[in-house]
Structure 1
């Protein structure tokens, strides 16, 4: 059946449709839709390659119970207990790139099945960059020293790559026709991608990202994006593809390869922005969305990795991780996920509380009609509070910590109901706040407090 799927085509030259699968919202092109309705993607998971873990079903159930609907899945095999995609000869210890390890694909297929049943979107990263460098390259089946299919001399692939991926010293990522045109390697890369699509195109809940934190030439990502989109089209499917660049500054020119080429990348991935802290993270993310809007290229902007955990070294600690997640939602990210521990909060208790609270709050608010409006907050200090609103009708105000702001509701305050949400506990309360005509004063006495103000 899957081979029939891959050979099916489109008639009358029409673009393939999603048939209720994940797609860009027609009414709100900054966001995704699923089942024909706009959807905000919120998520977290304890691993980046969730398909390789024994507790995958429990993790997905936990995410779903918290209101989450979004995970990341790298096709990585570098962690203990993981399996590689290819068959290994136990006698020689060498892989055969022409033969599959069925366990690897069984795990991937099961993840797709389980997520589809739960309406959880999967952002698949095809090439797990760090699997191809340093100690991971020494055991990678694509290493010529680890397989029976080609030699280092024939492919010019090194058997050791001791540098960080930002040095771009593994020509594995230069195999495409626009670069080295390394046909022996490219043939097996294509075979791997075809097998991935064999499974993923059967499901409508998959988004595609070419790499993780890449620094290589844009030719590589462009080649694979065009290839998988064509394969999908031949199968009567429309898929959505992005690339993830390494620079932490979204103003770096490499990110323009994604921002400025919607014909190649139908959505944008800005996770590296989450290395920024405080208001810088908000400003940089919002700036990119406004630039896309001004250029006429507005489309979903995803944040598949939100950093921040006291146990890790990225993202400024747990509270900044929570802030970054919520700021990303309010400035307009279409998808936001907590990165795996220790670099992120994964799907621990804090992450679950945040996901559940933000889902509840956004469901009670005209979220897709609203936009960022920090200018409505009088007396606001840097990184004190953030506002998303439909001015004159509905307002959502998030306090990162203790603070006080004034807001002009543009109508008498008595016409509005004010509710307060303690994000880390999920506790809602009706509030009476100081007011004077159209003005109200909002106060916070703790971290991570949210106000919802709506016309009665």
Structure 2
């Protein structure tokens, strides 16, 4: 009689068989659709290759924009491939997602065809141009203060529930950081879920996914600058991932917290939970300026690396516009370029008046960075501040593949020394004009002297 195979041996055999059936890593890396790169896990893979996402746009809820197509064409012409889209309706003339009756009240059981047609058209147009969309499911500021007075979910504005049944107030005059709208406390992960409200929230998300899961270029962010309980975002991220899996698709999710300090405990809910959040949005770091901005970004990348959880960091909002509410134009340009140099997977100029949008300055910065990074072994390079000497704070930033190529960014002119033995060629890129000029190298030595040709934003490219 033949003896049965030992249980451990059977498990090992089955596991080896499973591995044998998996496609090689090279084939998985080349598969279509938006994924985290296997080779370079700090970056996304799109259309079968690692991709740096660069963007800028005039609106956050871009699908509501009447002039969408020329705006996307302008971004594409600069080399841009990344936009933000909040599912927001708070601007004058915007559509809301639900059907509005003749009496002005909404029926949350029915959807507004024009709103969803705009969304579908936006997805189709960005997909056709290989522009990645970072989509924010819940537009936080639509649920507070004046926008809440117009929101279909407000009990005063729909036929489906009243305040008593839904637990929602008709007025929420406070800032979202106060988290005083119970709208964000409906989910089953909390002690007192609200099934009445959750039904209609789910209908909204299901309709969104019925459109977005038809495409392979969408990233999902649960909220905009949220301060609510982490259970809310975790519930919706898990829900979206499950719905995607049921459709045979993949959904990469994140959350966006309000605090500017990336060490704040809120941010740990994304940094420390790769099982839920495949990437981490760090847009609020762009409220910081100069050396502090760089140091915070680098510190989080290094922490993820040490924990074995390295994955993409996105910047869907880079603030700064002279005369605006947050930072200056100069701050915006510097932060945008530093994001690329310290290894963020994406960077995008925020809409005016809080950002540059896609004005001429933004367009040229995107164009210059795309031209540069496409010419480099960019994904093989790392931040290497240790190669710089005689450097003042915020004077210069280095990214290098040692022994092959080096780039050094000067935010405001300046001069430093770079350890780059056997350097053969030096070129300078003036970021705000896109113009190149040759630089002069002294006879080969271990350390070369770099002096920006003038004030302003310059990038030195040194080849070995």
**TM-score bracket, shorter-length normalisation:** over 0.9
Query: 210-219 or 435-444, which moves further after superposition?
Result: 435-444
Partner in structure 2 of residue 147 of structure 1: 158
Is the counterpart of residue 450 in structure 1 residue 464 in structure 2? no
Aligned partners of 1:76, 1:134: CA distance in 2, in Å?
Answer: 14
Aligned partners of 1:298, 1:215: CA distance in 2, in Å?
Answer: 25
Report Cα offsets for 1:147-197 as digits up to 9, x if no partner. 000110011101000000000000000000122310010000000000000
Partner in structure 1 of residue 422 of structure 2: 412
Maintained 8 Å contact 1:15/1:238 = no
CA-based RMSD of the aligned residues comes to 1.6
Q: Highest Rg: 1 or 2?
A: 2
Aligned length: 439
Where 1:442 maps in the other structure, the secondary structure is strand
Where 2:455 maps in the other structure, the secondary structure is coil
Asked which structure has the greater RCO (Cα within 8 Å, sep 6+), the reply is 1
TM-score between both structures, scaled by the size of structure 1: 0.94
Is the counterpart of residue 397 in structure 1 residue 408 in structure 2? yes
1:365 alignment partner, one of 355, 376, 380? 376
Query: 385-394 or 69-78, which moves further after superposition?
Result: 385-394
User: Moved runs in structure 1, 4+ residues, more than 2 A?
Assistant: 14-19, 433-436
2:341 alignment partner, one of 322, 327, 330? 330
Partner in structure 2 of residue 304 of structure 1: 316
Report Cα offsets for 1:37-91 as digits up to 9, x if no partner. 000000000000000010100110000000000000000000012100011113x
Is the counterpart of residue 421 in structure 1 residue 429 in structure 2? yes
Partner in structure 2 of residue 134 of structure 1: 145
Aligned partners of 1:65, 1:435: CA distance in 2, in Å?
Answer: 40
Partner in structure 1 of residue 243 of structure 2: 231
Alignment of 1:11-410 (within 5 A): 19-90=31-102, 92-179=103-190, 180-314=192-326, 316-409=327-420
Q: For residue 311 of structure 1, report the CA deviation from its aligned partner.
A: 2.4
Partner in structure 2 of residue 5 of structure 1: none
Unaligned runs of at least 5 residues, structure 2: 1-17
Maintained 8 Å contact 1:22/1:205 = yes
**Residue 136 to residue 377, structure 1, CA distance change in 2 (3 Å):** same
Report Cα offsets for 1:235-278 as digits up to 9, x if no partner. 00111000000000000001000000000101000000000010
Maintained 8 Å contact 1:175/1:183 = yes
TM-score between both structures, scaled by the size of structure 2: 0.93
Aligned partners of 1:153, 1:446: CA distance in 2, in Å?
Answer: 63
Aligned partners of 2:22, 2:149: CA distance in 1, in Å?
Answer: 43
Aligned partners of 1:83, 1:432: CA distance in 2, in Å?
Answer: 57
Aligned partners of 2:93, 2:463: CA distance in 1, in Å?
Answer: 51
